[in-house]
């Protein structure tokens, strides 16, 4: 499965079906046990979150929110870059990293062309903007459990190890790291822009205003999607309090997400349709749900057959190393591996091994699993590292050498940030 995931010789979702065939044949579980992980509650949290995101995109609310934020940004190139990166990261915390990138890259290109004055996007500013959007999408995705599929894969694995992380605990641990890496990415990308002249504030404002005018007034559908999305996000963040109310003791993040998704099919959009229809829902990445299930099935089989324990014992020598070196090694391995393979597939393959290392070394599992999860989403060097990277590279404004050099520096800085966060912040949050 790892070989197929890395080479993509077979589509990753199809590869994820292998456990249903192979595990019963080799005696690693009966068909029911092999199929059970494909219905893990985390998968339905993912499905509910993606339906909410799809409704935001269906009604164009994401574009309105992005333009509203950009209208308040200053006119200097570093400030414009900060504005694009900030709004991309904010959106990517809640919607697909790829969707956030696809939405903002055309706007970034339009801004670069307008400020150039000759209808062409300069490589310096245009390249920085599209890279900034791509990098910020990946960085923002780590901020919430629903921001990236890798987050949900990790949460599902941790729950199978009897370690439950709430929505708010995840954000408490991930958002500070997200802000630090976002700031590092901005510094790396903005440094060459500081020598550029400051464009007229009016040029940028006029472009954003023209885009907002094209949208027209907010429709009733947009407003209702915004209110429903805000209600779901608020329920996620206040779930411990809601569970204290009569009848809500069994409320969980998956239930909140699915309830929000069902509500989309019930609430009128104001134009004769509902906030969500099934043709739109069919377009969410159902293949990722299979990928989740396949990864969880393999992880469960590795645990039940003793493979994880064997792997961990073979790496027992790492117990002789300081914890910080173990964390740094795992972070670097996962991060650079995800440069050439699907980040979700990479993490799915590494989690059981990392869990085994934690057991063999006596290190708290979360101390190793959290940095591995963060690292899987933060590959900046290669166009194939993440879909946002590929979108930025496809604009033609970013050369491979530029992405490699900028990405390598940012990768190294990110490893340091993840190690620092996992070493000093995690113990404060989880004890």
User: How far apart are alpha carbons 136 and 33 in whole angstroms?
Assistant: 39
Chain centroid to CA 288: how far?
Answer: 13
pLDDT of residue 431: 65
Check if the beta carbon of residue 158 is closer than 8 Å to that of residue 388: no
Q: What are phi and psi of 268, to 5 degrees?
A: -65, 145
| β partners of residue 274 | 268
What distance in Å separates the CA atoms of residue 186 and residue 135, rounded to the nearest whole number?
Answer: 9
d(C-alpha 287, C-alpha 12), whole Å? 8
Rounded CA gap, 234 and 178, in Å?
20
Domain ranges of the chain: 30-430
Q: What is the pLDDT of residues 392-413, one digit of tens each?
A: 887 778 888 888 889 999 999 9
User: What pLDDT, on the 0 to 100 scale, is given for residue 116?
Assistant: 61
Q: Has residue 192 got a pLDDT over 60?
A: yes
Query: Who has greater pLDDT, 340 or 242?
Result: 242
**Residue 102, phi-psi category: left (phi > 0), alpha (psi -120 to 50), beta (remainder):** alpha
Q: How does pLDDT run across 16-67, given as a tens digit for each residue?
A: 899 999 999 999 888 999 999 888 887 787 788 778 878 887 888 877 776 7
What b-and-e string marks burial along 138-156, b requiring 16 or more CB atoms within 10 Å of the CB? Answer: bbbbbbbbbbbbbbbbbbb
What angle separates helix 123-140 from helix 77-92, to the nearest 10 degrees? Answer: 30
Average pLDDT over every residue of 156-160? 84
Nearest to 83 by CA among 220, 182, 3: 182
> What is the average pLDDT across 148-177?
87
Q: pTM of this prediction? A: 0.71
Given pLDDT bands bounded at 50, 70 and 90, which one contains residue 140?
A: very high
Residue from 47, 97, 88, 92 nearest 285 by CA = 47
Quickly state the pLDDT bin for 344 (edges 50, 70, 90).
Answer: confident
């Amino acid at each position: 499965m790892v070989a197929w995931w890395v080479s993509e010789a077979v589509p990753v979702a199809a590869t994820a079906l292998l456990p249903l065939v192979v595990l019963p044949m080799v005696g690693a579980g009966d068909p029911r046990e092999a199929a059970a992980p494909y219905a893990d509650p985390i998968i339905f949290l993912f499905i509910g979150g993606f339906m909410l995101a799809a409704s935001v995109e269906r009604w164009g609310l994401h574009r309105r929110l992005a333009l509203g934020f950009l209208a308040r940004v200053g006119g200097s190139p570093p400030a414009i870059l900060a504005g694009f990166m900030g709004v991309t990261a904010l959106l990517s915390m809640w919607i697909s990293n790829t969707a956030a990138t696809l939405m903002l890259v055309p706007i970034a290109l339009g801004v670069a062309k307008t400020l150039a004055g000759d209808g062409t996007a300069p490589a310096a500013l245009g390249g920085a903007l599209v890279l900034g959007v791509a990098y910020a999408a990946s960085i923002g995705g780590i901020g919430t459990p629903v921001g990236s599929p890798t987050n949900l894969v990790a949460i599902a694995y941790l729950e199978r190890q009897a370690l439950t992380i709430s929505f708010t605990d995840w954000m408490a641990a991930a958002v500070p790291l997200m802000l630090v890496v976002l700031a590092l990415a901005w510094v790396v990308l903005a440094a060459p822009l500081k020598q550029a002249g400051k464009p007229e504030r009016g040029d940028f404002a006029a472009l954003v205003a023209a885009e907002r005018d094209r949208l027209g007034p907010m429709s009733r559908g947009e407003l209702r999607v915004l209110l429903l999305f805000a209600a779901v996000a608020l329920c996620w963040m206040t779930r411990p309090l809601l569970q204290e109310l009569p009848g809500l003791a069994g409320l969980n993040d998956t239930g909140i997400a699915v309830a929000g998704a069902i509500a989309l099919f019930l609430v009128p959009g104001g134009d004769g349709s509902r906030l969500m229809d099934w043709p739109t829902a069919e377009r969410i990445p159902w293949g990722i749900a299979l990928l989740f299930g396949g990864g969880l099935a393999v992880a469960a089989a590795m645990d039940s057959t003793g493979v994880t324990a064997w792997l961990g014992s073979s790496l027992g020598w790492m117990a002789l190393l300081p914890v910080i070196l173990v964390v740094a090694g795992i972070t670097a391995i996962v991060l650079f591996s995800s440069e050439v393979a699907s980040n979700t597939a990479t993490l799915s393959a590494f989690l059981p091994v990392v869990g085994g290392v934690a057991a063999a070394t006596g290190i708290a599992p979360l101390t190793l699993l959290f940095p591995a999860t963060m690292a899987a989403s933060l590959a900046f060097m290669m166009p194939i590292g993440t879909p946002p990277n590929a979108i930025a590279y496809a604009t033609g404004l970013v050369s491979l050498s530029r992405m490699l050099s900028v990405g390598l520096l940012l990768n190294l800085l990110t490893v340091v940030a993840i190690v620092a966060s996992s070493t000093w912040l995690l113990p404060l949050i989880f004890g």
